[in-house]
Structure 1
Amino acid sequence: MKMNWGTGIVLTIVGFVALILVMVVISVRMEGIELVTENYYEEEIKYQDRIDQIDQASELGRDVIAYNSQQKLIELDLPNGSTGSLQFFRPSDSSLDQSIPVKVVKDDVTIVPVDRLKPGYWKIKLEWSENGVRHYQEKKITI
C-alpha cells in the first residue's frame, strides 16, 4: 500500500493530538502534589525576613541541624537559653507535617528522635532565637 503526503501529515497531526490529550489526562489525575503552605502569599511577603534569618544563621559558622541516619536522630547544636520551633515538613503529604517547640536548658546537643516519622523525603525547618537574634536553617533528609 502506498501512502501519499496528505495522509502522512494527517496521521502525524492526529498522533500528536492524541499524545497531548493523554498527557493532559495523566496530569489532571496526578495526586500527591500539594501546595507548600495554605497561606502561600502571606509567606511570600515575609520571605525577606526569612532571608535575613538565614544570613544570621550562616554567620554562626556551624551547622545547627545534623541528621544521624543510623540512629534516626536529629541533633540540634543550640546554646543554653535558645528557644524556637522545629518543623517536619512532608511535601508529598501535608497531613504528616509536625511542629515541635524547642527550648534548650543545658549546653549540649539537643536530640530529637525521628524514628516514628513515615519513611521518605522530609524537610526539617528550624527557627530559633539565640542571644536575642532570630535564626533559620533547613535540612533535607530521607528517612
Structure 2
Amino acid sequence: MKFNWGTGIAIFFSVFVLSLVYQVYRSTQYDHSLVSDQYYADDLRYQEHYNKLVNAQQLEEDLKIQPLADKATLELHFPRQVSALGGEIYFFCPSDQSSDFRLPVEPMGDGIQRIPTEELRRGLWKIKVDWTGDGKAYYKEQDIRL
C-alpha cells in the first residue's frame, strides 16, 4: 500500500473526528451542578453578606476555626467580647454536594464549640459560619483539610 497525500488527509480527519467524539463523551460524564441552586437570590443578598464581613473585621478578637492535631475534632473559638451567640455553621464539600450539612452555633460556656469530624469525608472542606451576637450579624469562612 502506498502512502500518499489523500491517505494522510483521511487519517488526519479520522483521528480528529474520533478525538471530538471522545471529548463529547467525556463531557457528558462530568457533573455540571451549580454551587448554589438559588444563585440569583444569593446575588441579591450580597450587601447583607458584605455588612456581616465588615462587622467581623471590626471585632478585636476574630473567630478562630482550627482542627485539633488528631483531626477528629474541629474547634470554633468565638470572641469573648460577644455574647448571646446564635447562628449556623455550614460545612461545604466542593467535591461532593451530597456531603454538605449545617449545624447550629451552640458554644459551651468557655466560648468554644467542638464538632467531631471523624465521620466526615477526607479532603477539602469550606467552613462557613454565619453567626450573630449582641444584636449584630457576623460571617467567617475558612478552608480546612481533614
TM-score (structure 1 length as normaliser): 0.80
In the other structure, the counterpart of 2:115 is 112
Residue 57 of structure 1 aligns with an amino acid whose one-letter code is A
Does residue 127 (structure 1) correspond to residue 130 (structure 2)? The answer is yes
Matches of residues 12-91 of structure 1 in structure 2 within 5 Å? 12-31=12-31, 34-60=33-59, 62-78=62-78, 79=80, 80-91=83-94
Query: Runs of 5+ in structure 1 lacking a partner?
Result: none
In the other structure, the counterpart of 1:9 is 9
Write the deviation string for residues 45-69 of structure 1: whole angstroms up to 9, x where unpaired.
Answer: 2223223322332333534322225
Does residue 102 (structure 1) correspond to residue 105 (structure 2)? The answer is yes
In 2: Cα distance, 1:125 partner to 1:23 partner:
36
Deviation of the 1:10 alpha carbon: 3.3
Query: Runs of 5+ in structure 2 lacking a partner?
Result: none
In 2: Cα distance, 1:68 partner to 1:114 partner:
10
- Local SS of the residue matching 1:127: strand
Write the deviation string for residues 55-105 of structure 1: whole angstroms up to 9, x where unpaired.
Answer: 332333534322225142221121332211011122333332211111345
Deviation of the 1:127 alpha carbon: 0.4
- Local SS of the residue matching 2:131: strand
* Distance change in 2, residues 1:24/1:130 (3 Å): same
* Distance change in 2, residues 1:9/1:49 (3 Å): farther
Residue 10 of structure 1 aligns with an amino acid whose one-letter code is A
Residues 82, 129 of structure 1: 8 Å contact kept: yes
Identity of aligned residues (%): 32
Deviation of the 1:129 alpha carbon: 1.2
Instruction: Provide the aligned C-alpha RMSD in A.
Output: 2.4
**Higher mean C-alpha displacement, 15-24 vs 56-65:** 56-65
- Local SS of the residue matching 1:118: coil
Aligned residues: 142
* Distance change in 2, residues 1:52/1:12 (3 Å): farther
Deviation of the 1:20 alpha carbon: 1.6
